[in-house]
Structures are given as structure tokens and as C-alpha cells.
Amino acid sequence: MGSMDRNTVIGFILLAALLFLYLFLSTRSSQELQQQQMARQDSIAAQKRHQDSLRIANDTTRAAIKDSNVVVPVKEETLTVENDVLKVTFTNKGGQPAKVELKNYKSFDSTPVVLGGKAFDGITYSVNSGQGQSSQISELFFTPGSVTKNADNSQTVAFNLPVTGGNIVHQFTIKPGSYLVDWNIQMNGADRLLTQGNFNLIWQSQPEQHEKDVVYERQHTNICFYEDGDFDYIMSKTSKKFEKPVQWVSVAQQFFNITLINKSGFSSGDVSWVKETSDTSRNLARTTANLQAKLPIGAMATLPLQLYYGPNEYKILKEQALEMDKIVNLGRDFYAFVRPINKYIVMPVFGFFNSFVGSLGLVIALLTIFIRLLTSPLVYSSYLSGARMKALRPEISKLREKYGSDQQAMGMEQMKLFREAGVSPLGGCLPALLQIPIFFALYSFFNSNIILRGVPFLWADDLSSYDVIVKFPFYVWGLGSHLSLFTLLAIATSFAIQLYSMNMTPDQSNPALKYMPYIFPFILLFIFNSLPSALTWYYTVSNVITLILQFVINNYIIDHDKILAKIEENRRKPKTKSKWQERLEQMQEAQKKVEASKKSGKR
């Protein structure tokens, strides 16, 4: 039981680090890559079949419209509408946004962040064109769009498609300072255009790289949705079938997303995607959503949709649709327990410091100090427990000499020693265990906080990504093509903490523990090197504070003479064993007898 001290704490942290490493490496498994390649081939074949069907259906529809003597444009024309944050380019081909530029953000190469605009991108739905034929709306040319400026300074763009006995209108409204585009589909003659009111929409999106590490950005790209009142997402799976009503579906990159919202809800559908596996490509994935809605059967029908093109910013997304703020990953699945830490502690404190401190690097440092102050009572109790354990080191050494390799007897006598001295070998574990959810909370927070994006600090040019102190001319397994200085500082300070902790360990007889100061920082090198500078900077500051606290508490606050006196006082008190201690000793005694009988039998 001698290892149940600070080494146990290190063991817990090591376990968490190994789990973290596993989660990272699992995203790159060969099995997943093989599945992605197969799915990609299937998607290419499906797209070709889809394009062929569009061409055939489009020819049929043009012929039907020509027979009805309705004049329809056959040339694509674009129209650009702007507000404070968006620049939307519309096309009359399908009467929809062709691409959207975010004015306040730049990609890693300093070009504007553009969402959409690829040949794969687009939204379509089928309409009846007569004689048992149907056509996809994305292949039809609407009349050139018209722009109307409204009294509230919003702008409305309208596209009109004449059809036999009616028309289809796509009406878009863009409000000042908003990333949300309202889209109303109005059908005059819906009873002829739709079969029994069935509206089948296909949305395709191909998100593109906007961060400097495309591999890391792919890992954080996912599809989010709100189905039957619950938020969910897919990241490693390739598809999701919707059995219940869906209000919105989002293609979310690390810091940006495109979301399709149906105010009245889609009744069913599915979404699938193929992640890009080539590191040389700027494409992250190709997604396809098939969504169904039921419109009232009648001559007139309206479908109220919305399109969000913008940043993954918590406060903005919270105002768009129910639970869209969960697109910002503050803790999911295995890490869902850290979401309340981020929402109610980390985010408010970070926002408070950011309101009056100009440097985000200093804000992170102040956040670190706040967290360490918050956990300081537990840290003090941990160090006090460590000091008590250190005071027992001479007696534990005597027990080691007395019992040698008899681990069973050693454990029993050591437990008696701890009980007599009033020392708990688990006293230092709780603070370290508390550090695990805090670390996971900050990992989620710094990975998803768009405020850090592109912000320099010290030698780092972007706190939302890793800093580079050395650039390798080739790829190094586990490290990539760079070395981060913040990572090296985090490792160096972790190494110093491990050495100090080893000095506080009462029982240093275990040879494996001698290598712990080297093993743990070595593992951190491979985990931290690709993480955001904000996180490795936080870890470095936290380690420095830990070293200072260790030195001050152990040398100026804790009175070691009083600890020894307290231990002697506890020894003189009458002892009562707990039921757990009694059971443990009974089990140890029984096991000792079994081992003794085995030895006598061998003789």
C-alpha cells in the first residue's frame, strides 16, 4: 500500500493522458481510413448517377415549359447582397446562395473565409413537371433576382420561376449584423408541383480548410443536428438516419458552420458524409442531407427555412435556434461532465478578465491563477498529506528492510503504521483527480473558442493553434512536422514537478517509480505538440504555480515538527478499526495463509 500517495496521483494523471492519446490516435485508424475510401467511391458513383438524373429531368422540364409558352431565362446570373458581417452571392440557377463570405474572418492564408461556392455545394428539391416527370430545382433558371430594402434596414432578395399554371418564389431576407438568412419557399400551384404535399430536399456541402493544420481541423469537423428535441452529432460515423422530426442540420468545422433550419421541422430524412483522407487536399469532407417535409395539400404552400453562415460563437449560436449553441464543443459524450464547468465557471471568468485585459495570453494566465486559487484548499490538504507521509519515510524504510520481498506482510504492517499515525495514503489524490476534469474542460474550451483564433501571444502567432519553434523538413510520427516551444515549456515544468513529487514520496523502493519523472513528460510531448497554444500556455502557467505552491507550502507554511508531534499524539490514542479495515486485514491474513500453505506444500 506504500504506493497509495503522490505516485497514485501521478498514475491517475498518466491514465488520463493515455486515454487522451488513444482518443487522438483512434481517429486515424487504418480501418476507418479504409471505410472512408470505400464510402468516398460510393459517393462519387452516387453523385454521377444524381447528375445524370438531373440532366434528364431538366431537359424534360425545359421541354414542358417551352410547350406552355412561358419565357424562362437560360443563363446564370449572380447577385451580391451585403450586411455588416456577410457578403452573400446569389445565383438565379436554383434561386439560392452560391457562396457566402464572412467579412470579419480570414483563412490561414489570409484570404477571406468563404462558405460554399464549390461545384459540389448546393440545395435542391424536386417538383413535378408533368406527365409523370420531375425536375430538380437546382438545375432550373429563375428570373434574375430583385433586391428590396425594408424599413428595418433588412434586405429581401426574390427569385421567381414561372411554371405551368403557377410559379415558385424563393425569397431571402438578410438583416443587419446577422449571420442568419431567412429563406421562404412559396409555391403557387403546389398541389400540381408536389405529390400529396411531399417535399424532398437535398443539401450538399463540402467544407474547406480555413485553419493552418488541415488534419487537426478534419478531426474537429462534424455534423450536428437537433432531432426530436435533442442535440446530437456524428463525427466518426458516416451516416445518420432520422426517424423523428428534425429542426436543423449543421455542417460544423472547427470554428465555422453552415446550418439549415426548418422552423416547422423536417419529418424525416438522413445525412451522410465522407471525410477527406488526403493531407494535401484543402477539402475536409463531403456531406449530403436528404430531408423530407409534409406541406399542406393545396394550391398555395409556404416552407419557412433559414440558413446560418457564420462562426461557432456560443452567444451568437444561442440566439439562432434551440440548442445550436451546442455546436460549440464545450464537452460531449465521455467529456459531457465538463460542460457545466465551462458554461458556469470557465466562460464567465474568461469573459470577465477579457473585458478589461487587452492580451488574451494574460487573460489565460489570470484564468489559470483563478482556477488554482479555487482549488487551493484541496491543494494545501494534498501537500499536508504528503508532508505527513514523508515524515513516515524512515519507519517505512525499516519495514522494507524487515519484510524484504514479502509484499503481503509489508502491506499489512504499512497499513497499521498509517492507522497508528492517523495518516491517509489517499489524502493527496483528490486534488489531482480534480485536475483531470479541469484539464478536459479547458481542452474543449480552447479548441472551440473562436475568440482565440488568429490572436498572437509572445512567439505564438495563433493561440487557437500550435506554435512553431522548429520546423522539420519531414514528418515525424507522433509530432508532425514541427516542435512547439510552449509544449517544451509544459514538459520541462512537468518534469520539475515529477522530480519534486518523487522527493516527497515516502516509499521509493519501487524501481518503476524512478522512471516516472521521465515517462510522463515524454508522453506529454506527443499529446501536446499539436494542441492549441492557449492550452499548452495554460498548462505551463499552472505548472509554474504548482512549483511555487509546493515550495512555499512545504517550506514556510507546513510545520514539520508539529506534524511529527501530531503523529505521536495520534499513536497514543485508542484505535478503532473500521469495517472496511477489518475486512481488508482478514483478506490479507487469509491470502497470507494460502501462500504459506503453498510454500509448505512445495517442500
pLDDT in tens, 365-390: 999 999 988 887 776 666 666 666 66
Which stretch of 186-195, 211-220, 556-565 has the lowest confidence by average pLDDT?
556-565
C-alpha 417/C-alpha 334 separation (Å) is 39
What's the pLDDT score for residue 95? 93
What's the pLDDT score for residue 325? 95
What's the pLDDT score for residue 514? 62
Q: Is 390 helix (H, G, I), strand (E, B) or coil?
A: helix
Q: Which three cell numbers mark 353? A: 478578465
- The model's confidence at residue 520, banded by pLDDT at 50, 70 and 90, is confident
Residue 566: how many other CB atoms lie within 10 Å: 16
Share of the chain above pLDDT 90, in %: 43
Half-sphere exposure of 91 (CA within 13 A, CB side): 19
User: What residues pair up with 3 in beta bridges, in sequence order?
Assistant: none
Contact 539, 528 (CB under 8 A): yes
Contact 461, 467 (CB under 8 A): yes
What's the pLDDT score for residue 489? 94
pTM tops 0.75, yes or no: yes
Length of the chain: 603
User: 133-136 and 122-130: which strand pairing?
Assistant: antiparallel
Q: Residue 467 pLDDT more than 80?
A: yes
Contact 253, 236 (CB under 8 A): no
First and final CA of the chain: distance in angstroms? 30
What's the pLDDT score for residue 22? 45
Report CA torsion sign: 187, 189, 190, 193.
negative
Q: Which three cell numbers mark 150? A: 425594408
What is the DSSP track for 299-335?
A: SEEEEEEEEEEEE--HHHHHTTSTTGGGGS-S--GGG
CA distances (Å), 449 to each of 19, 105, 535, in order? 23, 14, 11
Q: Output the furthest CA–CA distance in the chain (Å, rounded).
A: 108
Q: Is 423 helix (H, G, I), strand (E, B) or coil?
A: coil
What's the pLDDT score for residue 26? 44
C-alpha 313/C-alpha 318 separation (Å) is 9
Q: Does domain 68-328 have CATH number 3.30.465.10?
A: no
C-alpha 276/C-alpha 218 separation (Å) is 8
Mean pLDDT, the chain, whole residue set: 80
- The model's confidence at residue 56, banded by pLDDT at 50, 70 and 90, is very low
Identify the helix (H) or strand (E) that includes residue 169: strand 166-174
Q: Which residue has the higher pLDDT, 499 or 469?
A: 469
Q: b/e per residue, 183-194, with b = 16+ CB within 10 A?
A: bbbbbbbbbbbb
C-alpha 501/C-alpha 390 separation (Å) is 11
* Highest-confidence segment of 362-376, 403-417, 567-581: 362-376
C-alpha 256/C-alpha 464 separation (Å) is 14
Contact 418, 322 (CB under 8 A): no
Q: Residue 234 pLDDT more than 70?
A: yes
Q: Which residue has the higher pLDDT, 28 or 244?
A: 244
C-alpha 136/C-alpha 202 separation (Å) is 10
Q: Residue 6 pLDDT more than 80?
A: no
| Mean pLDDT, residues 218-242 | 91
| Mean pLDDT, residues 118-138 | 86
Question: Which phi and psi angles does 329 have, rounded to 5°?
Answer: -80, 95
Contact 19, 26 (CB under 8 A): no
Q: Residue 205 pLDDT more than 70?
A: yes
Contact 213, 447 (CB under 8 A): no
* Highest-confidence segment of 293-307, 551-565, 569-583: 293-307
CA distances (Å), 5 to each of 301, 322, 437, 443, in order? 70, 47, 20, 27
* Highest-confidence segment of 276-285, 339-348, 511-520: 339-348
C-alpha 562/C-alpha 154 separation (Å) is 73
- The model's confidence at residue 474, banded by pLDDT at 50, 70 and 90, is confident
The beta strands (E) that lie in 421-540 are given as: 470-476, 480-483
C-alpha 193/C-alpha 164 separation (Å) is 9
- The model's confidence at residue 252, banded by pLDDT at 50, 70 and 90, is very high
C-alpha 476/C-alpha 474 separation (Å) is 6
Where are the domain boundaries for CATH 2.70.98.90 in the chain? Answer: 68-328
Q: Residue 546 pLDDT more than 90?
A: no
Q: Residue 598 pLDDT more than 90?
A: no
- The model's confidence at residue 516, banded by pLDDT at 50, 70 and 90, is low
What's the pLDDT score for residue 362? 96
Q: Which three cell numbers mark 599? A: 510454500
